[in-house]
Amino acid sequence: MSPAFDPRPWGATDLSPIYPNHRFDEKIGESWLTGDDGKVANGPLRGKSLAALSTQYGRDFTGEAANDSSRFPLLIKFLFPHEKLSLQVHPDDEAARRAGQPWGKTECWYVAHAKPGAQIALGLQPGVTHAQFEDAIHQQRAEELLNWINVFPGEMIYVAGGTVHTLGPGSIMVETQQQSDTTYRLYDYGRPRELHLKEGLAALKEKVASGKVIRPAPTTVNSTKNRRSMLVASPFFVVEMFELKEPQDFPTRDESGKSSVQILVALEGCAVIEARGAEPVTLAKGDAVVVPASMGEFQMRPQWTVEFLKASLPGMALPEPATRI
C-alpha cells in the first residue's frame, strides 16, 4: 500500500522513528495505510483504491468474515501525536445506526513507541455523569474528569465505541479500527475546529469496556524461533504480533473456517511475502501489505528478522477483550 500522510494540528514534522529520513514542513498527524481511499502501490492493480477492489471482487477480496463484502472492512494507520488530540468520542454500532451510518468506530492502539511519561486519556472517571462532563466541557476543565494513564511500548489499548478519549504527546501508535472516520470532537484546546457536542454527548457512554488489553504471554510457532503474540481479539478485529527469524506460512482462514483479508504492518526489519500466482512483495518497516482473502495461504520469509502486526476479521462471534485501566 502507498501511505497517505495526513496533516493535523497536533502532529509531528519528524516521522523518522517509523519512516527514516521523512521530515515534513507541515505537521503530520497520521499515516493512513488502508481504508477506502488507500491505493495499491505495486503489481497489475497499482493505483486502484481498496474501495474499488472491494466493490469489484467482493468476498474474494474482503473474505467471508466481512459483514459487507463490498466495502473494505478495516482502517489502519500510524498516529504521531506531538501535542494533545482533541477530546473526542466515536459512536458504537448502535449509535451509528441511529445516525444513519452502517456501523460505528471501535478501535485499538498498539504502542509502537513511547517516551517516558507519555499518557492517554480513556473514559470517564468512575461516577462521572453525562451532565457533569458536559458542565466540565463548558468550564474548560473536561480533562479533570478523565482517566489518564501512562503508556509503554508493546502495550495494546482497546477503545470501544462510545469512549471519550485523547492521546497526549510522546507516543507513536498503530491504530486498527472499524472502517469509519466518524469523530465527534467535544473539546479542542481552543483550536479553530468544529465541535460536535450534541452528537458526541449522545454517543458517549459513562461505562465502557476500554482499557489496556490483558493478554497471554507470547508463544513459539511450530517449535521454531518464531514468536506469536495475540494482542487483541474482539468482535470487530483480531490483531496479532509476529517476530519471525525463519520462514512461516499463514492461512487466510481462521479456526472457524471463514476467510478474511489480511493486513500486515511492519514495525522492524524486513521480509518477503510470497503467494502462489503472485509476484513477491517486500515488507519493510513502516510498510503495509494487504493480502486478499482468496489467496488461501501466503508465506513470510524474513530477511534476517522481521517484527510485524497482522490484522484480520474474526470468523466467529467474539466477546470484547478483558481490559484494565
Check whether 142 has a pLDDT greater than 80.
Answer: yes
Supply the pLDDT for residue 269. 97
Averaged pLDDT for residues 236-247 = 97
Supply the pLDDT for residue 282. 97
Supply the pLDDT for residue 190. 86
Supply the pLDDT for residue 7. 97
Supply the pLDDT for residue 171. 97
Q: Which residue type sits at 71?
A: R
Check whether 23 has a pLDDT greater than 90.
Answer: no
Instruction: Summarize pLDDT for 302-311 with one digit per residue, the tens.
Output: 999 999 999 9
112 Cβ contact partners less than 8 Å away, ≥ 6 residues apart: 17, 18, 78, 153, 171, 172, 173, 174, 267
pLDDT-based confidence at residue 223 (cuts at 50, 70, 90): confident
Instruction: Give the separation between CA 104 and CA 289, rounded to whole angstroms.
Output: 25
For residue 195, give the C-alpha cell.
465541535
Supply the pLDDT for residue 22. 80
Supply the pLDDT for residue 21. 78
pLDDT-based confidence at residue 174 (cuts at 50, 70, 90): very high
Across 37-170, the runs of DSSP E, i.e. the strands, are 74-79, 87-89, 107-114, 119-124, 146-150, 156-159, 165-167
The fraction of the chain above a pLDDT of 70, given in percent, is 100
Supply the pLDDT for residue 181. 85
Instruction: Summarize pLDDT for 271-283 with one digit per residue, the tens.
Output: 999 999 999 999 9
The fraction of the chain above a pLDDT of 90, given in percent, is 94
Supply the pLDDT for residue 224. 81
For residue 216, give the C-alpha cell.
497471554
Check whether 222 has a pLDDT greater than 80.
Answer: no
Instruction: Summarize pLDDT for 124-134 with one digit per residue, the tens.
Output: 999 999 999 99
Look at residues 134, 137, 166, 172 and name the one whose alpha carbon lies nearest to residue 152.
Answer: 172
Averaged pLDDT for residues 158-169 = 98
Supply the pLDDT for residue 236. 97
Does an H or E element contain 266, and which?
A: strand 262-274
Supply the pLDDT for residue 221. 86
Instruction: Summarize pLDDT for 35-46 with one digit per residue, the tens.
Output: 999 999 999 999
Phi, then psi, of 13 in degrees rounded to 5: -95, -20
Residue 112: CA atoms inside 13 Å, Cβ hemisphere, count? Answer: 24
Average pLDDT, the chain: 96
With contact defined as beta carbons under 8 Å apart, do 222 and 278 qualify?
Answer: no
Instruction: Summarize pLDDT for 64-121 with one digit per residue, the tens.
Output: 999 999 999 999 999 999 999 999 999 999 999 998 999 999 999 999 999 999 999 9
Averaged pLDDT for residues 12-28 = 91
Instruction: Give the separation between CA 22 and CA 17, rounded to whole angstroms.
Output: 9
Look at residues 234, 203, 240, 205 and name the one whose alpha carbon lies nearest to residue 221.
Answer: 240
